[in-house]
Amino acid sequence: MMTTNFENYVLPTYARQPISFVEGKNALLIDSEGKEYIDFAAGIAVCSVGHGNDRLTKAICDQVSKLIHVSNLYYIEPQAACAKKIVELSGYTMKCFFGNSGAEANEGAIKIARKFGEVDGEPKRYKIITLENSFHGRTITALKATGQESMHNYFGPFPDGFVYAKNIDEIESLLDEHTVAVMIELVQGEGGVQPLDRAKVQALAALLKSRNVLLMVDEVQTGIYRTGEFLASNLYGIEPDVITLAKGLGGGVPIGVVMTNRLDIFAPGDHGSTFGGNYLSTAAANEVLDILDEMKQSGELDEMLMYFEKSLNTFASAHPALFLSHVGLGLMRGLRVCDAEILGKIINSARNNGVIVLKAGRNTLRFLPPLTITKADIDEGFARLEKAMSAL
C-alpha cells in the first residue's frame, strides 16, 4: 500500500530506497519490518543529536503544548534566544534572519549581496562567484548559484549574475567591477566531501576584504559542529561577511538561518518568511545548540570525532583495492571509491546488512552520522560494513 500511494500521489523526485523507517534511538533506526540499522547518514546531516533524543523531544513537546506559530509580526522570544546563541557560539558580530531550509538561507544571502551591491556606491555590483561542483539549493536562484551545469537542465531562464570558478585559485581572475560577492562551501558536500585548502581560503578572505567584496560561506552542511567546531569558518580561521546554516540546527525540525556582519543591510519589507523562526523550530534549535555545546565543552564531541576517524581509516585500510583516499573533516567524511558502479553496490550491500551510508559526487562513499553517536554504535556500524564488503 505504501509503495502504491507513493506511485499514485507523490511526484517521483527521488529514487527512494525500499525502506520505511518507523522508529529510532540515537544512531539506531528500525524499519516497518522490524529490521535494525546503524545510521551513518543522520537524514543527510540533519539529525545532529540522533533519533528520539529525550531532551529534544521534551523541548519540542513543551513548546508545542503552549504555542507553535504566531508569525513574525510579533516578538518570538525563543527566536531571539536562538539568534543570540548562534552569534555567541560563532564568535562573530552578526545578526540573524530565520527561514525554513538551506536553500532559503542561501536565497537570503544572495539578497543581502545584491542589496549591498546596489547601495554601496557606483558602479552598481551584482555578480556572485561560486565554485564549479558546488551545491547551494534547489530554488531557482540557489540552483543557478550551484556550479553544476547538469542541475540547470530544464529550469531556465535563470537570474543573471552568477559566475563559476573552476577552483579557488581562479576566483581572483574572475573579479571585476561588478563583482559583489563570492559564495563558497568550505567542504563541498554534494560535490564529494571535498575540503578547500585552508591557506588558500585565508588568502581569498584577505583579498576579498581588500576589494570590498563579500565573502559568503554556505555552512548548511558544515555548520553546527559537523566539522568539529561550531562553524567550519572557525576551523578555517576566517571571518565571513555572510554565513548560512540549516540541516543540523533543528535536529530534524526544518529551519534555516542567514547571518551577516552587515547589521543594517535589511529594512522592514526587504525580506520575510511566514514560518521562519517560529516557536517550534527555534525551541528545537535552542535545545540542539545546548546539547552540542555541552558535548563540545566536555570534550565528548572531539573524542567521538577522533574515534570515528580512526575507525573509518581502519576500515578503508582493510580494502586498499576499493578505496583510493579518505576525505573530509569532523563527522563529515568520505571515502573515494575506485569505481562508481562499485560505490552503488557498496551502498546497497550496506543497507542489506543493516547500515545506512550515502553517495556524494560521482565516486564518494559519504558518512554523516549523528554527532551524538556512541563508540558502540560506531563499532557495530563498521562491523556491519565489513559484512557488507564480504557480501559483494
Could you report the per-residue pLDDT of 199-209, keeping only the tens digit for each?
999 999 999 99
Contact 195, 186 (CB under 8 A): yes
Among residues 361, 372, 366, which one has the least CA distance to residue 326? 366
* ∠ Cα 255 257 58 (to 5°): 40
Grid cell for residue 215? 565573502
Sorting pLDDT into bands at 50, 70 and 90, what band is 53? Answer: very high
Whole-number pLDDT of residue 350: 97
Give me the pLDDT at residue 177, please.
96
The C-alpha atoms of residue 311 and residue 113 are separated, in whole angstroms, by 42
CATH fold group of domain 67-297: Aspartate Aminotransferase; domain 2 (3.40.640)
Query: Where do the domains of the chain lie?
Result: 2-52+301-390, 67-297
Task: Specify the pLDDT at position 339.
Answer: 87
Mean pLDDT of 307-327: 96
pLDDT digits (tens, 9 = 90+) for 109-137: 999 999 999 998 889 999 999 999 999 99
Q: Compute the distance between CA of residue 142 and CA of residue 124 in angstroms, rounded to an integer.
A: 21
For every residue of 50-79, DSSP letters joined together read -BT-HHHHHHHHHHHTT-S---TTS--HHH
Q: Which three cell numbers stand for residue 324?
A: 583510493
Q: List the beta strands (DSSP E) in the chain.
A: 21-25, 28-31, 36-39, 95-99, 127-131, 162-165, 179-184, 187-188, 194-195, 214-218, 242-245, 256-260, 323-329, 332-337, 355-356, 358-360, 364-367
Q: What is the amino acid identity at position 297?
A: Q
Closest to 120 (Cα-Cα) out of 239, 264, 257: 264
Q: pTM above 0.85?
A: yes
Query: How buried is 44 (Cβ within 10 angstroms: 0-12 exposed, 13-18 middle, 19+ buried)?
Result: middle
Rounded distance between C-alpha atoms, residue 291 and residue 226, angstroms? 14
Fold match flag (2-52+301-390 vs 67-297): no
Evaluate if residue 213 carries a pLDDT over 80. yes
Judging by DSSP bridges, how do beta strands 127-131 and 242-245 pair with one another?
unpaired
CA distances from 247 to 25, 60, 161 (A): 19, 17, 27
Residues 342-368: what's their mean pLDDT? 95
CATH number of 2-52+301-390: 3.90.1150.10
* Separation CA 105–CA 9 (nearest Å): 29
Look-up: residue for cell 551524538?
A: 372
Q: What is the pLDDT of residue 125?
A: 97
Give pLDDT tens digits for 76-99.
999 999 999 999 999 999 999 999
With CA atoms as reference, report the closest residue to 30 among 56, 54, 51, 61.
51
Q: pLDDT at residue 24 above 50?
A: yes
